[in-house]
Amino acid sequence: MTLLKISKMGHPVLWRKADPVDNPSDPDIRALVENMIETMNDAGGTGIAAPQIYESLRVFIFFVSPVRAQSEAERLGFELEGDGAVPLTILINPELDFIGDEIDESWEGCLSIPNLMGKVPRHRSIRYRGYGLDGKLIEREATGFHARVVQHEYDHLDGVLYPERMTNMRQLIFSSEVAHQRPD
Ligand code: NI
Residue 103, φ and ψ in degrees, nearest 5: -120, 135
pLDDT tens, position by position, 135-151: 999 999 999 999 999 99
User: Ligand 1 center to residue 162 CA distance, Å?
Assistant: 7
Reduce the DSSP state of residue 100 to 3 states and report it. Answer: strand
> Which candidate in 34, 105, 153, 164 is catalytic?
153
Reduce the DSSP state of residue 129 to 3 states and report it. Answer: strand
Asked if residue 23 is part of any domain, the answer here is yes
User: Ligand 1 center to residue 183 CA distance, Å?
Assistant: 24
CA dihedral 99, 62, 149, 131 (to 10 degrees): -30
User: Ligand 1 center to residue 152 CA distance, Å?
Assistant: 6
Assess whether 108 carries a catalytic annotation: no
Asked if residue 112 is part of any domain, the answer here is no
Asked if residue 54 is part of any domain, the answer here is yes
Tally the domains of the chain: 1
Model confidence at 118, pLDDT cuts 50, 70, 90, reads very high
Asked if residue 29 is part of any domain, the answer here is yes
Helix (H) / strand (E) element for 71: namely helix 66-76
Q: Which domain holds residue 133?
A: 12-104+124-159
Reduce the DSSP state of residue 137 to 3 states and report it. Answer: strand
pLDDT tens, position by position, 58-84: 999 999 988 888 887 787 777 777 888
Asked if residue 110 is part of any domain, the answer here is no
User: Ligand 1 center to residue 154 CA distance, Å?
Assistant: 9
Asked if residue 6 is part of any domain, the answer here is no
pLDDT tens, position by position, 119-135: 999 999 999 999 999 99
pLDDT tens, position by position, 84-100: 889 999 999 999 999 99
Structure-model confidence comparison of residues 76 and 8, the more confident one: 8
Model confidence at 184, pLDDT cuts 50, 70, 90, reads low
Asked if residue 4 is part of any domain, the answer here is no
What protein residues have CB closer than 5 angstroms to ion ligand 1? Answer: 110
Asked if residue 115 is part of any domain, the answer here is no
Burial string for 42-81 (b: 16+ CB within 10 Å, else e) reads: eeebbbbbbbbbebebbbbbbbbeeebbeebbeebeeebe
What is the rounded distance in angstroms from the CA atom of residue 2 to the CA atom of residue 35? 5
User: Ligand 1 center to residue 69 CA distance, Å?
Assistant: 18
CATH code for the domain in which residue 131 is found: 3.90.45.10
pLDDT beyond 60 at 25? yes
Model confidence at 181, pLDDT cuts 50, 70, 90, reads confident
User: Ligand 1 center to residue 103 CA distance, Å?
Assistant: 19
CA dihedral 53, 48, 101, 19 (to 10 degrees): 40
